[in-house]
Amino acid sequence: MTAFQALITTLFAIQWGIDLNKLTTLTGTASVVANAQLIWTPIYVGGSSQVDLWTQSTEGCACSFNSTRTDCACCVQSGGCSCGDSSPHRCAQCGLEQNCANMCNMTLDSKQLLNKSGRGFGQIKSPALTGPTRCTYRFVPDTGQRVELQIYRLVSIGRHNGSMCEGGWLQLESGARVCGQNERFDPPVVLFSDKDSTTLQMQINEKTVRSQFLAYFSFTSTTSTSVGWPARGGKSVNNTECDWVYEDTDCRKECVLASPGYPGVYAPNTRCRYLVTSGPHVAVTIKFTAVLLPYNHCTSDYIAVYSGPTISSPVLAMLCGNKKTSVTHAGQNILVEFRSGPGVPPFDYNGFVATLNFQEITTESPTTVATETTSRANDVGKFGNGGGGGPNIRTHNQDHRREHRLNSCDLEVRGDEVRAGNHDTRGKPKSTACRLVLRGGSYDSVHVSLTSYNLRYAESERYSSTGREMTVVLRRASNTPRDEEYMDAVYYFHDEREGGTQQPASVCDVEYFGLSSPKNGSVVHPAPHRLFSLEGPLKCRQHFIPAANQSVIITLQSTNKRISNSACDTQCGDSGCRCFANRSLDEIDHLQLVSETGHIVSCLCGSYQDWLPVGVRSWTPVYIEWSRSSRGGLDFKATYRFTEDAFCGDHSTTRPQGEVTSGDLANEIVKLNRFYQQKCTWVLDSQTDRQLTVEVESNQSKPCTAWNLTIHEYSSSGDPAGPRLHTFCSRDRHKNFTLPWKMNTVVVRLQALSRTAPQYVMRWRSDSVTANTRKSAPSPAPNQVAGSSRSSRESRRMIIAMTLVAAAAKSLPRV
């Protein structure tokens, strides 16, 4: 390192308050542990990064914008790219060069950054802004990742008044607010988010001269042993922020509880409840392995353990500060309550982690597994309550289910040998405990229904495992007759590789994910044994969820039934297939292809075979809904295929001009009853003031309901598409839309549902050089088809001038 480089490095460190002795080399999977419990991913890069994370030296290398110059910055070879003519002595992370001069209001996408820079981490050095102002940074992690943010330096970003931040703050969506006038955090303030996408907001609500912050980010693996999401084994409670339920049947291996966002700073003023349930003969041990809460705040930040399901139950333990403990309880319910108060500077706390273990309390002799197998007709032939032809679970006259003991009511079933069956304890030897042990394969989930029983029982009769194993235990009083208390359980194993991810809360709903499921396959109507002999109306959904830059093609191909004299008829047109019935569809067997918003793309009922094949290509989630009102329901076969493309999805660009076309979709062969469902979004952003003109043209002539392209104001919260400004329909053929001066960010959205793919070309350009290029308002379109708004205004000016001349002529005296 030269003396000049050393000087620059020192100045950088002094400016941001960085201790040079703490610069380390990134290992990719390592983590840093401070104060015994503060954990984060190291992101500083030493050795080759002398000036900042991506700049090796400020001069000495060829300029990318001028081959004759060699006085530009030298970039880190792995991940660094030149900032170009605007900042020739700086480098940035490849993929973010356009934000060199202004890292504000931008999107950080894990896939894109990894593709362009080969790095899943980076640096945010905000511009020096004058308040009041606001900057946002949207993070989009890949599947299996969480967003990690490390804040090292704050300059004039609010202040903490003892209970909250005022005047300004940094906040990672719904998380803790961090503020300070002149703060150097050592260790850094660490925040995590486990959402599909999250936004960091810098908010300044007061007048400031220079508001700025320095932070590092990482797209961290959720399975990391140090900085991954540690909680496992529980089920989150719907419509709550952080409530969980843990059951002993789901925790055959060790379960883990954790505070929200662990090991990062948790959100203030939060209440989380963790309900642990178990059987009557089970002892529960909760061991708090990590506790780090603000010191001297035991009245606001604490963990309480109750020996019952509510906070009115007796207290077993109270924890605060960094106190750890272990609690063992033999009751059926334990409630763990976590409460947080206002944020406490310097934000050097991260909540708790606790392990959960269940220990059966019994005086019975241990159960052993015999290798001997039996084949008894009364166990093999039944499936449900006479239920209409379940599968034969015998192979070569052998029952692959295994008796635990020769004279026992216990049974073990292996999914690689038997895929479905039932177990009835009636007629089995008397025992105070009967066990049904179901062991699936690597990709199996287990599903059980109690079809018949004689017990005091008030819970749901259907169960689904979160792992590949499940055990059902029947406990009986020792003095009851053999068959007075019994159970008859129906079970099956579900392979998620072939049949999608089964939803535990549903009998038959499954999900296919574009990133994890097979790229193509076939689906059929729900198998009878999977419906557990349920009577009456029933709906089953097969969800198909494409990833970013993916679409899914679903084709309903065949059916084995022809229904005559049906009360419902199918008719297909340009906007999809529809069911026409003389009574409610809930009383009729039918199929529907439905979008994520609930819009019905196609509905099939009655004798719909003549319309087949019926298909849809969608860039958003879509599902097949099978509705049964009769005993049998419709049968069908469909194929699906996830395909990679970039025609649609969510896109963002800061280019001042560009063009988007409909791509190769316009050249696809039009197939009967094949429909396209699209929802594409482009965010056109600019870091400088400009006047934006959007030009759209199409050679189609379709109604607006088939497809349309709309221009919206940008919204920073929720859906980026704010109030609609303009609408383009293909019948308009060609339009120019000129937006107001300084409307620097707009959203363009395409929505389509049609037999033919939309054909269009969208162009945009920016005027930002001189004042006389500004146009005071948008063009009067959407009703004006051709020509620009400039020509229309010039025409109006000429008409007005001619009118004024004529009026002046009339007012002159006659000679």
**Lowest mean pLDDT across 16-20, 59-63, 157-161, 308-312:** 16-20
Would residue 791 count as lying in a domain? yes
* Banded pLDDT at 604 (limits 50, 70, 90): confident
- Top mean pLDDT of 138-147, 240-249, 445-454 is at 138-147
pLDDT of 349 reads 93
Q: Quote the CA–CA distance of 329 and 308 in Å, as a whole number.
A: 10
DSSP-derived 3-state class of residue 299: coil
**Do 429 and 525 belong to one domain?**
no
% pLDDT > 70, the chain: 75
Q: Are 273 and 329 in the same domain?
A: yes
Q: What is the pLDDT of residue 601?
A: 83
Average confidence score pLDDT of the chain = 77
Interacting residues of 701 by C-beta distance below 8 A, sequence separation 6+? 730, 731, 733
Residues 22 and 42 in one domain: yes
813 pLDDT above the threshold of 60: no
pLDDT digits (tens, 9 = 90+) for 29-38: 344 443 446 7
Does pTM top 0.75 for this prediction? Answer: no
Q: 153 pLDDT exceeds 90?
A: yes
Q: What does the pLDDT read at residue 492?
A: 82
Same domain as 482, residue 416: yes
Report CA 567 to chain centroid distance, whole Å: 41
Query: Of 360, 388, 422, which one is at a domain's C-terminal end?
Result: 360
Q: Which residues pair with 729 in a beta bridge?
A: 708
> How many degrees, rounded to 5, is the angle at CA 493 between CA 246 and CA 517?
85
Provide the residue type at 559 as one letter.
T
Gyration radius of the chain's alpha carbons: 33
Whether the CA torsion 59, 63, 65, 68 is positive or negative: it is positive
pLDDT of 815 over the 50 cut: no
Distance in angstroms (rounded) separating the CA atoms of residues 636 and 627: 12
**Confidence category of residue 135, pLDDT binned at 50, 70, 90:** very high
One-letter amino acid of 602: S
Q: What is the pLDDT of residues 657-676, one digit of tens each?
A: 988 887 655 455 445 567 78
- 63: phi then psi, degrees, rounded to nearest 5: -90, 130
Backbone dihedral region for residue 810 (phi beyond 0: left; psi -120 to 50: alpha; all else: beta): alpha
Whether residue 515 is found in the same domain as residue 410: no
**345 & 388 share domain:** no
Q: What is the pLDDT of residue 41?
A: 82
- Reported as a pLDDT band with limits 50, 70 and 90, residue 478 is low
What distance lies between CA 16 and its chain's CA centroid?
34
734, part of any domain: yes
Within-domain flag for 16:
yes
Higher pLDDT: 382 or 701? It is: 701
Region of poorest pLDDT, from 113-122, 394-403, 404-413, 528-537: 394-403
Q: In what order do the strands lie in the sheet with 462-464?
A: 420-424, 487-495, 444-453, 462-464
Per-range mean pLDDT, top range of 204-218, 561-575, 771-785 = 204-218
Per-residue confidence at 384, pLDDT binned at 50, 70, 90?
very low
Q: What is the pLDDT of residues 90-122, one digit of tens each?
A: 899 999 988 888 899 999 999 999 889 888 899
Whole-number Å distance between alpha carbons of 341 and 428: 57
**The tokens of 296 are what?**
């001297």
pLDDT band at 763 (very low <50, low <70, confident <90, very high): very high
Which residues, listed in sequence order, are joined to residue 258 by a DSSP beta bridge? 353
Same domain, 254 and 204: no
| 180 conformational bin, left if phi > 0, alpha if psi -120 to 50, beta if neither | left
pLDDT digits 0-9 by tens, 419-473: 877 787 776 777 778 888 988 887 788 888 775 555 544 444 667 777 788 888 8
Measure the CA–CA gap between 653 and 646, rounded to whole angstroms.
14
Please check the confidence at residue 352 and state whether its pLDDT lies above 90: yes
List pLDDT tens digits, range 623-654: 988 888 765 677 778 889 888 776 677 788 88
Q: Examine the domain organization and report whether 568 and 667 are in the same domain.
A: no
- 50 contacts 90 by C-beta, under 8 angstroms: no
Alpha carbons 309 and 319: distance in angstroms, whole number: 19
State how far the Cα of 761 lies from the Cα of 778, in Å rounded to an integer.
20
Does residue 313 have a pLDDT over 90? no
pLDDT tier, 762 (very low <50, low <70, confident <90, very high otherwise) = very high
- Distance CA(259)–CA(301), nearest Å, equals 12
- Highest mean pLDDT (candidates 13-27, 304-318, 537-551, 796-810): 304-318
If asked whether residues 72 and 143 sit together in one domain, one would say yes
Residue 291 sits in a domain of what CATH number?
Answer: 2.60.120.290
- The label of the residue with tokens 């202040």 reads 159
- In this predicted structure, what is the pLDDT of residue 684? 92
Domain span at residue 551 reads: 501-644
Task: Decide if 189 is inside a domain.
Answer: yes
What pLDDT does 272 receive? 94
Shared domain for 519 and 640, answered yes or no, is: yes
pLDDT of residue 267: 92
pLDDT band for position 560 (cuts 50, 70, 90): low
| 329 and 429 part of one domain | no
pLDDT number for residue 32 = 44
Statement: residue 491 has pLDDT above 90 = no
Residue 365 lies in a domain: no
In a domain, 369, yes or no: no
Residue 221: is its pLDDT beyond 70? yes
Distances (CA, A) of 501 to 90, 461, 521, 598, 619: 48, 21, 14, 21, 20
Report the range out of 55-64, 394-403, 408-417 with the highest average pLDDT. 55-64
Residue 795 has pLDDT above 70, yes or no: no
Segment 397-423 shows an average pLDDT of: 67
Rounded to whole angstroms, the Cα distance separating 622 from 602 reads 11
- Residue in the structure block whose two tokens are 């084994």: 233
Rounded Cα–Cα distance for residues 785 and 790 (Å): 14
Percentage of the chain lying above the pLDDT 90 cut = 28
Q: Cite the DSSP H helix spans in 92-162.
A: 110-117
CB 693 within 8 A of CB 787: no
Decide if pLDDT at 724 tops 60: yes
**What's the confidence (pLDDT) of residue 53?**
83
pLDDT category, 479, cuts 50, 70, 90?
low
Predicted confidence (pLDDT) per residue in 166-193, tens digit: 999 999 988 899 999 999 998 899 999 9
Final residue belonging to a domain, choices 498, 530, 556? 498
Pair 25, 46: CB distance under 8 Å = yes
For the chain, the domain total comes to: 5
Q: What pLDDT sits at residue 563?
A: 61
Do the domain assignments include residue 803? no
Determine if the peptide bond prior to 132 is cis (ω within 30°): yes
Among 360, 385, 420, the domain-final residue is 360
Q: How far apart are CA 301 and CA 343, in angstroms?
A: 10
Q: Is residue 815 part of a domain?
A: no
- Report yes or no: 138 and 106 within 8 Å, Cβ to Cβ: yes
Where is pLDDT greater, at 571 or 213?
Answer: 213
Within this chain, do residues 599 and 718 fall inside the same structural domain, yes or no? no
For residues 691-699, average pLDDT:
93
C-alpha angle with apex 374: 373 to 379, nearest 5 degrees?
Answer: 125
Statement: residue 17 has pLDDT above 70: no
CA distance 201 to 172: 6
Which residues make Cβ contacts (< 8 Å) with residue 718, sequence separation at least 6?
none
